[in-house]
Amino acid sequence: MSDLFKQKATDWDASQMRTQLSSAIGACILKHVPLNETMSAMDFGAGTGLLTAHVAPRVKTITAVDTSAAMLEKLAEKPEFHDKITTVCQNIIEKPLASRYDLIVSAMTMHHVEQTAELFATFFDHLAPGGSIALADLDKEDGSFHAAGTEGIYHHGFVRDELKTVITDNGFIDIHFHTAHRIERNHKIFPVFLVTATKSGS
42 found inside a domain: yes
Kindly indicate the confidence band of residue 7, based on its pLDDT and cuts at 50, 70 and 90. Answer: low
One-letter amino acid of 23: S
How far is residue 134's CA from residue 118's CA, in Å, rounded to a whole number?
Answer: 17
Give the residue numbers spanning the domain of 195.
12-199
Any idea what DSSP says for residue 20? Answer: H
Residue 127 sits in a domain whose CATH number is 3.40.50.150
Question: Percentage of the chain surpassing pLDDT 70?
Answer: 92
Each residue's pLDDT tens digit, 62-95: 999 999 999 999 999 888 887 889 999 999 999 9
Helix (H) or strand (E) holding 179: strand 172-185
Domain contains 2? no
Instruction: With respect to residue 5, please indicate whether it lies within any of the assigned structural domains.
Output: no
Answer whether residue 7 is part of any domain.
no
Whether 3 is in a domain gets the answer: no
CA distance 61 to 121: 23
Report pLDDT digits (tens) over 111-149.
999 999 999 999 999 999 999 999 999 999 999 998 888
Asked whether residue 103 is domain-assigned, the answer is yes
Percent residues over pLDDT 90 in the chain: 80
Q: Is residue 60 part of a domain?
A: yes
* Number of domains making up the chain: 1
Q: Are 122 and 164 in contact (CB under 8 A)?
A: no
Alpha-helical runs (H) found in the chain: 16-32, 52-55, 69-76, 116-125, 160-169
DSSP for residue 59: S
Q: How far apart are CA 110 and CA 33, in angstroms?
A: 19
Distance CA 95, CA 1 (A): 13
| Position 9 pLDDT exceeds 80 | no
What does the alpha-carbon distance between residue 67 and residue 26 come to, in Å, rounded to a whole number? 22
Expressed in angstroms, the distance from the first to the final Cα of the chain is: 36
In angstroms, the CA 129 to CA 113 distance is 25
Give the model confidence (pLDDT) of 168-201 as tens digits: 999 999 999 999 999 998 889 999 999 999 999 7
Name the nearest CA neighbour of 111 among 75, 138, 145, 72.
138
- Is the predicted pLDDT of residue 38 greater than 70, yes or no? yes
Q: Is the per-residue pLDDT at 26 higher than 90?
A: yes
Residue 4 lies in a domain: no
